[in-house]
Chains A and B, each alone.
Chain A
Amino acid sequence: MNWDALMANFPYLVSVIVFGIGIIIVLTQSNLLKKVIGLNIMTSAVFLFYISFGNIVGGTAPILDPAAPAELYINPLPSGLILTGIVVGFSTSAFALALIVKLFSHYGTINAPDFMKMR
């Protein structure tokens, strides 16, 4: 096992592990609010992945100063993309929370297995 390569790609490893944690929370928790929290953890892991591959160690913000041009600029596009991703994740979880409120008014509980009993 090549530990050096693993440590050089440490942010990617972390984001994949966090992604897995998020999915496990969504699939195993029966409380609907915890499921939504799991979804948020999962999408945050993807955001971390984008931001970490967009960054270059030693690079500066991509603003061109003609007087003193820098040697290395980072790529602004992944950060820009993930701004869209954050908005999408926000709207999804807002929608999910609204649905949970509605479910609570129908069933009086937010514990998923209880719905089956009330059918």
Chain B
Amino acid sequence: MFKVPLYLILGGLIPSFAMPVLARWKKEACAPLTVLVCGVLFVLALCFGGAMIGGHQPIFQAVADWDPPWGIEIAIEPVSALMAVLITGLYLLIALFSCRALKKEMINQDSIGWYYVEFLLCMTAMLGLVITHDIFNMYVFIEVVGISAVALVVSKGDRYSTEASLKYLILATIGSGFILLAIGMLYMITGHLNMRFAGMVLAENAAHYPYMIWIMMTLFVVGFGIKSALFPLHLWLPDAHASAPSPSSAILSGLVVKVYIIALFKLFFIVFGNEFYQQSNIRILLLILGAAAMLFGSLFAFVQLDLKRRLAYSTVAQLGYIYLGLGLGTPWAIVAAFYHLVVHALMKTCLFLCAGAISYQTGRKKVTGLQNIGFTMPLTAASFTVAAFSMVGLPLTGGFISKYLLAVESMGASFPYFIALIVLSGLLNAAYYFPIIWQFYFVNEENPAGKRVFQRDKIPFTMQLPIVLTAVGIILLGTAGVIAYDYLQQIVLHFLA
């Protein structure tokens, strides 16, 4: 039963389209149903992940019995199993959080059913994007992720989110125009849309089309770079992520920008091949832009006063680490990039959910107004502190391990100056996260002499649980990360063999 990867896509698609009907009939049942669907898919993804850790061969399925290279092929490989577990797991937590949080954050309560349509559609398309092996099918999923992500932003309904989502939509469409052009060129050269077959033909004929392949790789990098907010193309990200409702921000910042990196990774390593990637100059471009993102993303985040905007710029900086790992190109650097991808998905989900919880209880949104949170909301503040420490890269958190691996690997790949950049970016992270934590615990303007006592958080249990679980996940990745590390090693060796 669990050998059929197609259920991962259908399991989210069918409930998503049933949601408006359900919303007409029983509006309050939408959120619990979404949690249920995410839970079932999480169990299914865990089955695939368990099989992959157990050394099972990759599972291929030809959709509707059209065998490759003609039909669409979907495949569970180690990388797609990892992303499926990550996407469905975080979706389960965010769906749980959204049950109560959206009651306060959405302006139009009647459209709650439509919110969950795009919520589930986004998950389905992301799962499809990571498990598909057909390039044009990948393009379709990219568009579905793009449109449903825009819809997740605009669902708040105020003027800022509408403006930000139009900006996001226009830039995302430009990005997918580039990607579609590159896919056309790839089909023109190889005559295949299946990634493995296109890769085989390209390996034989690459020498005949040198310029074409450069153009193709550049178009792919620009297209996916716009969509995954690679540094100079990140202009849409801060507005969109800051003005969305907080569950949407967590999805957009934690997952949506990551799946495009996974798609780029699959294109580079299945279609173009490792050997070709190592020789190409685009690797150096990724290295430079990743390094610039680390520095400038942190500098921009430093001057923001809105909490969610600061977190959004921090995403730009952290994506730089992932691109830096890809750009270094050695197997261990790619392991580090994947480690950072997983850890950052957890950290950013935790931070955005904390921001949502703080504004739920206290209504505060500025970074200057967060005094005393450590005592009125101790669990939330503790989780925020753990995630912020992980962003900075302090030991015992997941962020430490990924940054340590990246630093070691930049030495190994004979780019030692990147160590200075990693340290500098870490210090900048500290410079904009520590003042927040300082205010949580050590600033008490209302009653400077009074002794403060810890109170209980006044947010619902369904909002508290996801925040605490993501923080626990970050600590687990930092202390018992060996299992994850071995698994990531297996992923990379599967591709770079």
Q: Which A residues have a C-beta under 8 Å from some C-beta of B? A: 19, 22-23, 26, 32, 35-36, 39, 42-43, 46, 49-50, 53, 77-78, 81, 84-85, 88, 91-92, 95-96, 99-100, 102-103, 106-107, 115
Give per-residue flags for B143-174: 1 if the beta carbon is below 8 A from chain A beta carbons, else 0.
10001001100100001001101100110011
Task: Specify which chain B residues have a CB less than 8 angstroms from the CB of A99 in the assembled complex.
Answer: 154, 162, 165-166, 169
Bound-state CA distance A49–B212 (Å) is 14
Contact B147 A115, beta carbon cutoff 8 Å = no
Q: Is the CB of B174 within 8 A of A23?
A: yes
Known: A92-B143, A106-B159. A53 touches B184 (CB 8 A): yes
A19 to B177, CA, bound (A): 9
> B169 is contacted by which of A81, A96, A106, A107 (Cβ under 8 Å)?
A96
Indicate whether B187 reaches chain A with its CB closer than 8 angstroms.
Answer: yes
CB pair B173 A81 closer than 8 Å: no
A115 to chain B, nearest CB (A): 6
Contact A103 B166 (CB under 8 A): yes
- Give Cα A68–Cα B198 distance, bound, in whole angstroms: 33
CB contact list, B169-196 vs A, under 8 A? 169-170, 173-174, 176-177, 180-181, 184, 187-188, 193
B427 to chain A, nearest CB (A): 33
Residues A103 and B162 in contact, CB atoms below 8 Å apart:
yes
Q: Is B60 an interface residue (CB 8 A)?
A: no
Chain A residues whose C-beta falls within 8 Å of the C-beta of B187 in the assembled complex = 53, 77-78, 81
Closest Cβ of chain B to A80, distance in Å, is 10
Within the complex, the shortest CB–CB distance from A88 to chain B, in Å, comes to 5
Instruction: Tell me if B136 is interfacial: C-beta within 8 Å of chain A.
Output: yes
How many interface residues does B have (CB within 8 Å)?
24
Q: Is B408 an interface residue (CB 8 A)?
A: no
Pick from B140, B166, B181: contact of A96, CB below 8 A: B166
User: Which of chain A's residues has its CB closest to B150's CB?
Assistant: A95
A88 contacts which chain B residues (CB < 8 A)?
140, 143, 176
List, in ascending order, chain B residues with CB within 8 A of A19's CB: 177, 181
**Contact partner, A78, options B147, B181, B184, Cβ 8 Å:** B184
Say how far A38's CB is from chain B's closest CB, in angstroms. 9
Question: Do A42 and B177 touch (CB < 8 A)?
Answer: yes
* B125 to A: closest C-beta gap in Å: 12
Q: Are B184 and A49 within 8 A (Cβ)?
A: yes
Whether the pair B181, A92 counts as a contact (CB closer than 8 A) is no
- In angstroms, Cα B322 to Cα A16, docked, is 32
Q: In the bound complex, do residue A95 and residue B169 qualify as a contact, i.e. CB atoms below 8 Å apart? A: yes
In the complex, are the beta carbons of B174 and A32 less than 8 A apart? Answer: no
- Please tell me if the beta carbons of B181 and A49 are within 8 angstroms of each other in the complex: yes
State whether A95 and B147 are in contact (beta carbons under 8 Å apart), knowing that A49-B184, A84-B140, A103-B159 are contacts in the complex: yes
Closest 9 CB pairs between A and B? A106-B159, A99-B166, A88-B143, A53-B188, A46-B180, A42-B177, A102-B162, A50-B184, A39-B173
Complex CA gap A36/B159 in Å reads 19
Contact present for B177 and A46 (CB under 8 Å): yes
* A72→B180 CA distance, assembly (Å): 27
Which A residues are CB-close (under 8 A) to B143? Answer: 88, 92
B166 touches A81 (CB 8 A): no
14 contacts between A and B (CB under 8 A): A19-B177, A22-B177, A23-B177, A26-B174, A32-B166, A36-B170, A39-B174, A42-B177, A46-B181, A49-B181, A78-B184, A88-B143, A96-B166, A103-B163
Interfacial chain B residues near A103, Cβ < 8 Å: 159, 162-163, 166
Q: Which residues of B contact A32 (CB under 8 A)?
A: 166
Which chain B residues border A77 with CB–CB below 8 Å? 187, 193
Establish whether residues B170 and A91, one from each chain, have CB atoms under 8 Å apart when the complex forms. Answer: no
Please state if A39 and B180 are interface contacts (CB–CB under 8 Å): no
Output the least CB separation between B210 and chain A (Å). 15
Chain B residues whose C-beta falls within 8 Å of the C-beta of A85 in the assembled complex: 180
Whether B166 lies near A42 (C-beta < 8 A) is: no
Cα separation A80 to B193 with both chains bound (whole Å): 13
Chain B residues near A43: list those with CB within 8 A.
Answer: 173, 177, 180
Q: Which of B162, B173, B174, B180 has the most CB of A within 10 A?
A: B173
B168: nearest chain-A partner, CB-CB: A99
Cross-interface CB contact of B159 among A35, A46, A107, cutoff 8 Å: A107
The B186-230 residues at the A interface (CB cut-off 8 A) are 187-188, 193
Could you say which residues of chain A place their CB within 8 Å of the CB of B169? 92, 95-96, 99
B173, A91: Cβ atoms closer than 8 Å: no
Q: Which of A22, A32, A88, A102 has most chain B Cβ within 10 Å?
A: A88
Q: How far is the CA of A106 from the CA of B166 in the complex (A)?
A: 13
Q: Which residues of B contact A23 (CB under 8 A)?
A: 174, 177
Distance (whole angstroms) from the CB of B492 to the closest CB of chain A? 32
CB nearest neighbor in A for B191: A75
Q: Which residues of A contact B188 (CB under 8 A)?
A: 53
Q: Shortest CB–CB separation between residue B214 and chain A, in angstroms?
A: 15
Task: Among B147, B150, B151, B169, find the residue whose CB has the most chain A CB atoms closer than 10 A.
Answer: B169
Query: Which residue of chain A is the closest to B215 with respect to CB atoms?
Result: A16
Q: Give 15 A-B pairs besides A26-B174, A39-B170 with Cβ atoms closer than 8 angstroms.
A: A39-B177, A43-B173, A43-B180, A46-B181, A77-B187, A78-B187, A88-B140, A92-B147, A95-B169, A99-B154, A99-B165, A100-B166, A102-B154, A102-B162, A115-B163
Residues in B neighbouring A96, C-beta threshold 8 A: 166, 169-170, 173
